Amino acid sequence: MDREQRYIRGQYFFEYLVVVSLKKTADGNYEPQITYQFPKKDGMVRFQKEEEEKMLKAITLFCFPEEANIDRRVHIARCCGCEGRETFSFVLTEVDGSRRNGYCRRLLPKGNKACPPEAYCIISRLACFGLFSKIFDEVEKRRQISMAMIYPFMQKLRESPFPAPGNS
């Protein structure tokens, strides 16, 4: 089965890995924005691009849901100098009832300078929180070395076949 057929049938481990960061706006507040996306989807028609943009915008809001209701400067100041992480999930439901699972790992900044947290988010049709938590552990290790080490790992993982239910 070729790559396109596997993608259409939802047989990849995941559809996207995105990194969402809080970026400062002109008014001094912060808003979530995608700073990295894997894979990049090229060759889409206009309708597909619009649908993808809506989904990606929704993902940013799920990664930082509380940001709409709090003073972002207070949040960033509170995180300054701390380090930590939190992992959570959400479900995106399409009009036709199909579902995609979102798995997020939000990383708080390290060091003494004030910087906003960032979130790594994987979108998949698989409902397997434990598996994706382990994937985030590996992504986090690779990220500490270099962002460039994440791409080959995620590419290989994305295209790997996964076992049928009951097989390992």
Average pLDDT estimate for 76-97: 73
Task: List the one residue out of 110, 23, 109, 97 whose CA is nearest residue 60.
Answer: 23
Please report how the helices 129-145 and 150-159 are oriented relative to each other, as an axis angle in degrees rounded to 10: 150
CB burial class (10 A; 0-12, 13-18, 19+) of residue 105? buried
> What pTM value is reported for the model?
0.76
Residue 160 tokens, joined: 């790997």
Distance CA 155, CA 142 (A): 14
Label residue 3 by pLDDT band (50, 70, 90).
Answer: very low
